[in-house]
């Protein structure tokens, strides 16, 4: 009985986390299931468990697995459909890599968001993605279209959301003719965007901190 109670509390906590993450109120969930506000409130409070059918619908709506909702150890959070779309995004971006040099982080996020939305307009709508990133939709639009600076935390959260390496958003191009001369300016630029000097070195040179690239003719 105690384990069942703990399972209900885990389920309720995760349902509340997902709902609040999307900026929804209890009535929004109640409307989805054509029921009273008390029902999702009891789900989240652990006083009542959703039926099997309702559990499946909740998982589909939030794009997560039922195992993750139930707190199963080692369970993936993303549903199979969401994992498929994010995997397709990575394939798509690899194909577009040749067109990316010189693009700013906001442009790269916009490219990713537009692809995700083309695959599943409801799950990856601009409004829904913005809420996942804890940012207002209008501000997110401004970042995507270069009207506002993309902050480091937004890049970090989007990288986690889309299963992309954070450094991908800062990839420098074109290559510098003499990195040792222009390195300081590059560091200052990336520091302003939230990247550390160590990460800059790794990105530009693929070298460990403290080492410089060899010049032509050096042994």
Enter the pTM of the model: 0.68
Task: Kindly report the number of other CB atoms within 10 A of residue 7's CB atom.
Answer: 15
* pLDDT at position 169: 85
Q: For residue range 5-15, what is the model confidence (pLDDT) as tens digits? A: 566 788 999 99
Domains with residue ranges and CATH for the chain: 2-69 (1.10.260.40), 81-163 (no CATH), 172-213 (no CATH)
pLDDT tens figures, 69-92? 999 888 889 999 999 999 999 889
Please write the tens of the pLDDT for every residue from 90-141.
889 888 877 777 788 899 999 999 999 999 999 999 999 999 898 999 999 9
For residue 211, the model assigns a pLDDT of 43
Per-residue pLDDT, 189 = 66
Q: For residues 139 and 58, what is the distance between their CA atoms, to the nearest angstrom? A: 29
The predicted structure's pLDDT at residue 165: 87
């Amino acid at each position: 009985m105690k384990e069942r109670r703990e399972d209900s509390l885990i389920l309720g906590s995760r349902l509340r986390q997902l709902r609040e993450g999307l900026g929804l109120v209890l009535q929004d969930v109640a409307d989805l299931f054509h029921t009273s506000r008390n029902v999702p409130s009891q789900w989240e409070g652990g006083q009542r468990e959703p039926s099997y059918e309702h559990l499946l619908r909740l998982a589909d709506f939030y794009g997560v697995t039922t195992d993750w909702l139930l707190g199963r150890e080692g369970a993936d959070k993303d549903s199979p459909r969401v994992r498929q779309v994010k995997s397709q995004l990575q394939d798509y971006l690899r194909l577009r890599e040749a067109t990316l040099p010189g693009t700013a982080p906001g442009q790269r996020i916009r490219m990713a968001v537009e692809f995700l939305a083309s695959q599943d307009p409801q799950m990856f709508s601009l409004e829904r993605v913005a809420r996942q990133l804890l940012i207002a939709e209008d501000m997110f639009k401004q970042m995507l279209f270069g009207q506002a600076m993309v902050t480091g935390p937004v890049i970090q959260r989007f990288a986690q959301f889309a299963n992309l390496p954070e450094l991908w958003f800062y990839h420098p191009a074109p290559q510098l003719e003499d990195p040792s001369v222009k390195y300081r300016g590059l560091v200052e630029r990336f520091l302003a965007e939230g990247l550390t000097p160590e990460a800059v070195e790794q990105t530009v040179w693929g070298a460990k901190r403290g080492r410089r690239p060899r010049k032509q003719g050096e042994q």
